[in-house]
Amino acid sequence: MEQKLERVMEIIGKADEIMTSEGITKDVKTLEKELAEITGRQQNIEDYHRYSAVTSLKEIAKSALMPNPQEEHVTEEKIREVVMTFLKKSESEQGYWLKWLKMNTGCGSDYLFYPDIIGLPKATSMERIAEKIIETWKKES
């Protein structure tokens, strides 16, 4: 796994350099294909270029290696577990769980990062956020 991570970091880093100096080239598209072969799924390497200014290359590579979340039968307990452990996760893991929450509950990142947008106080506890997500999920199910 460590070799895969290093190779993905190398591919994304190389593509980022090319895109910064030359834009999208045939070489970038070749690197994108190689990335898809390693990760087992189609990816838009340009997405990682956009995040390179704010996220470490290692976290970007970990994100690229993460599987896509799957729709599953969720329980209140699972939602609570995801929300209560969210802040302890790495950036790449957080990205995965945000997609998972959206896919399985219909609730996006606003619930975790901007609770005031969804009617909760800004300084809301993670417990209250979990309850709000469960409440919304139940209404939409």
Q: Which tens digits make up the pLDDT trace of 28-72?
A: 999 999 999 999 999 999 988 877 778 899 999 999 999 999 999
Tokens representing 10 are 């190398």
Note the pLDDT of residue 51: 77
**Mean pLDDT (whole number) for 79-95:** 97
Domain ranges of the chain: 2-65, 76-140
**Rounded Cα–Cα distance for residues 18 and 24 (Å):** 8
When pLDDT is cut at 50, 70 and 90, the band that residue 1 belongs to is confident
Q: Can you give the pTM of this predicted structure?
A: 0.84
Let me know: does 131 contact 79? Beta carbons within 8 Å. no
Look over the chain and give the mean of its residue pLDDT values, rounded to a whole number: 94
Let me know: does 19 contact 9? Beta carbons within 8 Å. no
The three-class DSSP label of residue 23 is coil
Asked whether residue 97 carries a pLDDT value surpassing 90, the answer given is: yes
**Rounded Cα–Cα distance for residues 60 and 82 (Å):** 21
For residue 121, count CB atoms less than 10 angstroms from its CB and return exposed for 0-12, middle for 13-18, buried for 19 or more: exposed
Note the pLDDT of residue 49: 86
Range from 60-64, 81-85, 100-104 carrying the lowest mean pLDDT: 60-64
**Rounded Cα–Cα distance for residues 106 and 58 (Å):** 29
Tokens representing 95 are 């990205």
